[in-house]
């Protein structure tokens, strides 16, 4: 996928990794970047096309796809975490909210933009997942489940869109220095580094981004005996 002169749309572009993707795309020579957020007034970067997009609202998604008909790269970055265990009293409501954004959101945007990408030569979809696509963190159990579902979605989209020449990329990453992890101690990746590496993989035709050592080790441990996912992951 050629980043230079591409037209990209980034969801959740007003902060964190989404904002880093916008910066990286502009630095890599993208012709246009649609920076999408529920409230586009929260997008402070210059040189972008601000666009209102709530990935949980079908009407909003359809309007974005109708407006941005020149998109060649869709980056599904928007995500939320409610920090819920499975057995918490409100776990069902937490899971529903997380699945609406983290699974049904990228499903809706991918459905809406797949014809756009096809019309523009195939293009690419980048889904921001997590190392928790493969593990379940006790303190974010419902979030982990939503990211696991999003991983399966990504694998399925790859199969369904290969025929139209759309490259589908999964981004697996551990803790990044964003608002979502503000209360978590320990080393964290710079979102700018994750964004830059993602674009390198995308440009090289790759389908999977293992952005840190943790993600690489966990993936390698999936086939171990016992599998890494069978161990307790607290927090």
Predicted pLDDT at 231: 81
pLDDT in tens, 75-125: 999 999 999 999 999 999 999 999 999 999 999 999 999 999 999 999 999
User: Residue 2 falls within a domain, yes or no?
Assistant: no
pLDDT in tens, 47-75: 999 999 999 999 999 999 999 999 999 99
- Which structural domain range is residue 190 located in? 7-230
User: Residue 1 falls within a domain, yes or no?
Assistant: no
Predicted pLDDT at 38: 97
Q: Which residues are catalytic?
A: 143
Q: Range with the lowest mean pLDDT among 50-59, 165-174, 179-188? A: 179-188
User: Residue 73 falls within a domain, yes or no?
Assistant: yes
Structure tokens, 27? 């630095």
Whether the per-residue pLDDT at 25 is higher than 90: the answer is yes
Q: Report the CATH number that the domain containing residue 62 is assigned in CATH.
A: 3.40.50.720
User: Residue 235 falls within a domain, yes or no?
Assistant: no
Say if residues 36 and 13 touch (Cβ distance below 8 Å): yes
Whether the per-residue pLDDT at 147 is higher than 90: the answer is yes
Number of domains the chain is built from: 1
Where on the phi/psi map is residue 135: left (φ > 0), alpha (ψ -120 to 50), or beta?
beta
Cis-peptide into 22, omega within 30 deg: no
Residue 180: band (very low, low, confident or very high) from pLDDT cuts 50, 70, 90: low
């Amino acid at each position: 996928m050629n980043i230079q002169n591409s037209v990209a749309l980034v969801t959740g572009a007003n902060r964190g990794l989404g904002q880093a993707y916008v910066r990286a795309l502009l630095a890599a020579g993208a012709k246009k970047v649609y920076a999408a957020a529920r409230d586009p007034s929260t997008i402070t970067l210059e040189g972008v096309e601000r666009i209102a997009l709530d990935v949980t609202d079908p009407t909003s998604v359809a309007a974005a796809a109708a407006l941005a008909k020149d998109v060649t790269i869709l980056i599904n970055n928007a995500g939320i975490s409610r920090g819920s265990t499975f057995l918490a009293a409100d776990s069902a409501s937490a899971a529903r909210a997380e699945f609406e954004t983290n699974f049904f959101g990228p499903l809706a945007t991918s459905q809406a933009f797949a014809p756009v990408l096809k019309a523009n030569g195939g293009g690419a979809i980048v889904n921001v997942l997590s190392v928790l696509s493969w593990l379940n963190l006790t303190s974010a159990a419902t979030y982990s489940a939503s990211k696991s579902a999003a991983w399966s979605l990504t694998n399925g989209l790859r199969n369904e869109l290969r025929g139209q020449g759309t490259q589908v990329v999964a981004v697996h990453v551990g803790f990044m220095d964003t608002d979502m992890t503000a209360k978590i101690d320990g080393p964290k990746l710079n979102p700018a580094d994750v964004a830059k590496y993602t674009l390198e993989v995308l440009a090289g035709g790759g389908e999977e981004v293992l952005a840190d050592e943790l993600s690489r080790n966990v993936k390698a441990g999936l086939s171990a005996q016992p599998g890494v996912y069978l161990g307790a992951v607290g927090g």
